[in-house]
Structure 1
Amino acid sequence: MCFLPQCFTISTSEVGIIERWGKYDRLAKAGCHVVCPPMDLLVGTLSFRVQELNVRVESKTLDNVFLTATVSVQYCILAEKVTEAFYELTNPSQQITAHVYDVMRSQLPTLELDAVFEAKEDLALAVKNALANVMSNYGYSIIQALITDLDPDEKVKAAMNEINSSKRLKFAVAERAEGEKILEVKRAEAEANAKYLSGVGVAKQRKAIVDGLRTSIVNFHDSVEGSSTKDVMDLLLLTQYFDMIRDVGSAGHCKTTFVPTSRTLGDDVRNSLLQANG
């Protein structure tokens, strides 16, 4: 029986495994190759490209909350350990998945839910170191391990959102109360300043009235011979009385004015006017 040589090609970033009579013989690098079956056979190829494996792990945390973590493992074959990668592992993906489960299910139960999100980088590093120590013996290099998703139960997420919302609402209420307090303080300060300025204004007004009356009395006494200060005060009092009568008569809500009268003259008229003004 005659066997014809067979040609095959190996693509770039790949390597072929050639066996002779069932025993490993050599590697076939990228390019064209010839084998003579059944003596030499191409039993398989491996790729040097970076591969990615996504592993979903479900576990519980220290506070008994179940969550699902997605771990993305990026790995490739070591060029110097191609034979180990081909002959020692039947299913490298299954091997990597088992180690990811082991690491994550030993780390997550030691952390509370909030701490898991904060320790994501530490968890990824733990997965990478554990895989690197094991898979390097089988000819695989672990380039990176990333935790791409942490997904608690929907009810847990709703509760976490409610807690966060309550905290923010409490903070908003405190800030609003503080703002109202500042407004009340400023309003009280403004009212105190307004009352102070009003008092100053009234005091100045009364001082001006007193100064004006004093000046009028002095001027009238000096210009009218024989007049006394009492005559001037009576005249001013009479003038104010008539001004009051005019204002009362022009006001729509005033109907009647009672003026005490006396048949005597002199001080009785003055006293009557004082009583009426009072």
Structure 2
Amino acid sequence: MGGYLFFIPLFLFGLFILFSGIFTVKQQTAAVIERFGKFFRTRQSGLQFKIPGVDRIAGRINLKVQQLDVLVETKTKDDVFVRLKISVQFQVIKEKVYDAFYKLENPHDQITSYVFDVVRAEVPKMKLDDVFERKDDVAIAVKMELNEAMINYGYDIIKTLVTDIDPDVQVKAAMNRINAAEREKVAAEYEAEAERIKIVAKARAEAESKRLQGQGIADQRREIARGLEESVDVLNNVGINSQEASALIVVTQHYDTLQSIGEETNSNLILLPNSPQSGSNMLNDMIASFVASNQIGEEMKKTNAAKGITNKRKKRTPPPTESMYDDEYGTEE
């Protein structure tokens, strides 16, 4: 019974040693094992074992891709203060866990220092507009500098991104005003062009309307003249001469016009002689004017005929020559 009681503490001690030497490492994590205070080895994910009292876990390293956001305030070439947000994606190299664990006390501070150094060296060479247009150049410069520096410490820089560019508040307000003015200028140009197109189209439509209107008036007058000619021919056939026929047509049109005005309810007022005596006076005046015009025309024809005969005589009479002079007065010898 006493021997049995002796093995119980030994058994419990053995279980304690066994369980204290067993440990697990999570996925995408590396455990750094030290033996008597000196680096011994690294252990990857899974169930692992160490000698209790001899080996100890000095620390664990995250092997996942990590991201560090760094805010940097600097000045551009055109003296504009701007804040840039640089996102650095980095990862510990599995083969260099020792360097990543022992060479750097705080890798985040180291990366931040390099980002500040590169950004404040590159951005002051650019104007504000160039910073927006060439932000990828800034990101590439940061990545190259970080890779060169951090590879010796067991870190791989996967990607660097300029995720935000924030100028001073007054500068942003000025930029917004410039953009608004540019957009208003473009809008005004488009509105002016649209107005010009409307004016040109309206002018062309009016020109075409006037042309068609003129053509219609010409056709109308041509048909009226043709109708008058036919009316005069009809009246001549019944023994009415041209002057009387013309006068009769004019009087008829006069009364037709009065009738059409009377039929229109919203027509403007037009003053015309509309009494029978006025119509008779107008007819007599027209006949008298026609007779007078015919007489003047006959006189002009006679005058032109007389002038024509005189001109013909002048053309037929040749000018005097020396031979004619000699025949008339004789030749001096």
Report the AA paired with residue 102 of structure 2: Y
% identical aligned pairs: 40
SS in 2 for 1:35: coil
The equivalent residue for 2:50 is 34
In structure 1, which of residues 199, 209, 212 is the aligned counterpart of residue 214 of structure 2? Answer: 199
The C-alpha deviation readout for 1:208-242, integer Å capped at 9, x for no partner, is: 011001111112222x1x43222322321332333
Q: How does 1:225-236 map to 2 (within 5 A)?
A: 226-236=239-249
The equivalent residue for 1:270 is 287
Aligned-pair distance for 1:253? 3.6
Q: How does 1:10-159 map to 2 (within 5 A)?
A: 10-30=25-45, 31-37=47-53, 39-159=54-174
User: 1:262–1:272: 8 Å Cα contact kept in structure 2?
Assistant: no
User: 1:54–1:70: 8 Å Cα contact kept in structure 2?
Assistant: yes
Describe the shift of the 1:200–1:261 C-alpha distance in structure 2 as closer, same or farther (beyond 3 A): closer
Aligned-pair distance for 1:269? 7.0
User: 1:69–1:149: 8 Å Cα contact kept in structure 2?
Assistant: yes
* Bigger Rg, structure 1 or 2: 2
Aligned residues: 267
Describe the shift of the 1:28–1:256 C-alpha distance in structure 2 as closer, same or farther (beyond 3 A): closer
Structure 1 spans left out of the alignment, 5+ residues: 274-278
In the alignment, structure 1 residue 169 sits paired with structure 2 residue 184: yes
Describe the shift of the 1:268–1:74 C-alpha distance in structure 2 as closer, same or farther (beyond 3 A): closer
The C-alpha deviation readout for 1:71-92, integer Å capped at 9, x for no partner, is: 1111111111111111111111
Higher relative contact order (CA closer than 8 Å, sequence separation 6+): 1
Aligned-pair distance for 1:132? 0.8
Describe the shift of the 1:199–1:263 C-alpha distance in structure 2 as closer, same or farther (beyond 3 A): closer
User: 1:135–1:141: 8 Å Cα contact kept in structure 2?
Assistant: yes
Describe the shift of the 1:41–1:247 C-alpha distance in structure 2 as closer, same or farther (beyond 3 A): closer
SS in 2 for 1:243: helix
Aligned-pair distance for 1:21? 2.8
Describe the shift of the 1:206–1:22 C-alpha distance in structure 2 as closer, same or farther (beyond 3 A): same
The equivalent residue for 2:234 is 219
Task: Tell me, in whole angstroms, the C-alpha distance in 1 between the residues paired with 2:188 and 2:67.
Answer: 49
SS in 2 for 1:63: coil
User: 2:50–2:56: 8 Å Cα contact kept in structure 1?
Assistant: no
Is the helix fraction higher in 1 or 2? Answer: 2
Report the AA paired with residue 22 of structure 1: G
The equivalent residue for 1:276 is none
Structure 2 spans left out of the alignment, 5+ residues: 1-15, 291-333
Aligned-pair distance for 1:29? 2.8
Q: How does 1:180-199 map to 2 (within 5 A)?
A: 180-199=195-214
The equivalent residue for 2:255 is 242
User: 1:14–1:47: 8 Å Cα contact kept in structure 2?
Assistant: yes
Worse overlay, 110-119 or 245-254: 245-254
TM-score by length of 2: 0.72
User: 2:251–2:279: 8 Å Cα contact kept in structure 1?
Assistant: no
After superposition, the CA RMSD in angstroms is: 2.9
